[in-house]
Chains A and B, each alone.
Chain A
């Protein structure tokens, strides 16, 4: 039983608020949730977030909608494309507020600019991908929430994991916003163990040949590479290291699991072997059943997310819907917040989000509180290692060693 505390309340609220309504569906009111994602900038991320949110709202609507006080409502999802542009995200936020959205779900693009706009109407924003440390702050950004592993948590878990191995780690980051934010968190995480750091280097994002940079890193005496960057950067690092015969262990943030890397290195699957990434665990202590149930529902609705590569046995590899799960979970926390608030007033819903917990798609509990708007706690960060184009939790980390392998072929 994983984190059973408060769960019964969340379930009771959901049960009370989401029961099959006897009234005709045409009697239902309508609530809009905006999803602002990079459809044309990062299509896999955009698709998985949108589908996770839509799957949850479709289930809720089919069950009679959500009850807010005396009336039931169905939840409509309205899609906006931010093109990975903060300016576009601002524009989308304004349009979403004009459309009376009660919440905005985003990958994280432009939140530094959009949260204040949404805050004027008390509308909550939920980030379900970007783990940037400054994006979420319950004190200064009371309307921003996140269900996704944080950069802070990942960086500190890496320090906790790698320092005892006595590795000389090269901290590499690309010059994207994602890479810069990650580099800052890595600096903080390794600041108490400077002896564990062989070198720090910023890599040009989007450059496919990093041979010169990786040679320099090798000469620094590094025995491990921790690469915080976009998927193309990680693929380029692997390519440069392996093509030069350097079999150094490579570690990465959640972008290490992005299908792009495997697609890029499909001709050299052995180069992917040993790549380790950190992310939020997909299964809870209750086992794989809840996540498999969610995955099955997701795939029967949208089809499996195919990576586009095969195992050595010729089986097609599929990507588990990790980030879809976070959007799905936020929809349920939002629903619990609406029920608790007994209102569709975004300000009341935002306040209520601090007091509710629901069961997540993986059987874990999801919720926020007045001091913490992170739905994935740092302790939930695990490490997984690739072999034969699929990944499995590592065995040399206390949390990861408790986790089962998620099936990834189909």
Chain B
């Protein structure tokens, strides 16, 4: 009995001493699932009445097809969104979808008629359990085009036309740094990877930091990874097809050249995709935890990879809703379709100003940024390999 008591006291003292010696720790919230780094998308209407809400009884799946008509230089001329809301739940509903909305028409398969108010699409009625609400929404391109995920440039060069497709979702974001436990970060990386592969929305998560939590001086440049597929044709020439990933450790822009004379025609789709490459464990390991068991991985590297991957997943999720899903927790998917259309040049939308919220520039700027990023990444890899 006495021995036991002494043992307990000793253990308590030991624990207290350990606690006193260890640096203070704090749990820091990881990026995701929200907030999004910029206010748009989903688009917001300037004159729309705010304060709408969706009752918890409704679960809504949102699918959008954003159709962008561009001129012969690649500038957007018109924007139309076909939005389909699959409403689950029984009861009265009134939803509002806001944005720079010019007009709305009933979409194919819709079981109700959309209403239009200043910068709002209105849905009201009764859902018996399931209801499909579909609308063809025409947006004012001057206000909406700046939030598109991809910018196109078409330029006559030499013997044909060169198309530049640039990921326009890049935005600077604050990034934390500090001391963490590699095992915890590796585990979080594995979980984040599983979520991304399942196409699910990020889970809320925390990482434990020991000692001071710093902000990195330089903001991370974060993009929504996009799968871009399409073709470029000049006049009656043969089409040049392409399919590239823009982002997720791949270049943020691509160039396609098609030979021929005449009017260029481009059609492409851009689809936000989950982070895959950046979440791939090093050395062919099945998981980050396994990779860590094989060889030590630097804590700062793991932490940065976790934070930046999650920021990209959040950014990608943001572009899944060009128009808002009335159910903030509902699943959304968007596909952006760009196609050239014949139209007078003067109707083209002016390029966004330099103080654009995403901080992105034109295709050339982005290309230069990519070059720099690739060089920096290469240097980092070499340094890590020799660490």
Contacts and interface: CB of A to CB of B under 8 A. Distances in A.
A377 B116 contact: no
Interface string A46-59: 00000000000000
Given A355-B118, A398-B90, A6 B96 contact: yes
Contacts of B53: 4-5
Contacts of B126: 379-380, 398-399
Contacts of A8: 51
Given A6-B49, A369-B122, A398-B129, A1 B55 contact: yes
Contacts of B55: 1
Contacts of B91: 285, 402
Interface stretch (B107-115, B254-262, B355-363): B107-115
B52 to A, nearest CB: 4
For chain B, which range describes its interface: under 10, 10 to 19, 20 to 34, or 35 or more residues?
20 to 34
B92 interface: yes
A9 interface: yes
Interface majority SS (helix, strand, loop, mixed), chain A = loop
Contact of B104 (A9, A371, A380): A371
B124 interface: yes
Contact of A4 (B90, B94, B112): B94
B209 interface: no
A371 B114 contact: yes
Contacts of A354: 117
Nearest to B47: A355
A154 to B, nearest CB: 15
For chain A, which range describes its interface: under 10, 10 to 19, 20 to 34, or 35 or more residues?
20 to 34
Contacts of B113: 371-372
Scoring A3, A364, A379, A402 by chain B CB atoms within 10 A of each residue's CB, the highest score goes to A379
A8 B115 CA distance: 19
Given A379-B125, A399-B126, A3 B92 contact: yes
B95 interface: yes
A6 B91 CA distance: 18
B92 A285 contact: yes
B176 interface: no
B286 interface: no
B36 interface: no
B93 interface: yes
Nearest to A365: B94
Contacts of B90: 398, 402
Scoring B52, B114, B115 by chain A CB atoms within 10 A of each residue's CB, the highest score goes to B115
Contacts of A216: none
A377 B126 CA distance: 9
Interface in B270-325: none
B371 interface: no
Contacts of B52: 5-6
A369 B95 contact: no
B117 A379 contact: no
A247 B96 CA distance: 47
Contacts of A364: 92
Interface of B: 49, 51-53, 55, 90-96, 104, 112-118, 122, 124-126, 128-129
21 contacts: A1-B55, A5-B51, A5-B53, A5-B95, A6-B52, A9-B51, A284-B92, A285-B92, A369-B116, A370-B115, A370-B117, A371-B104, A371-B113, A377-B112, A379-B112, A379-B126, A398-B90, A398-B129, A399-B128, A402-B90, A402-B91
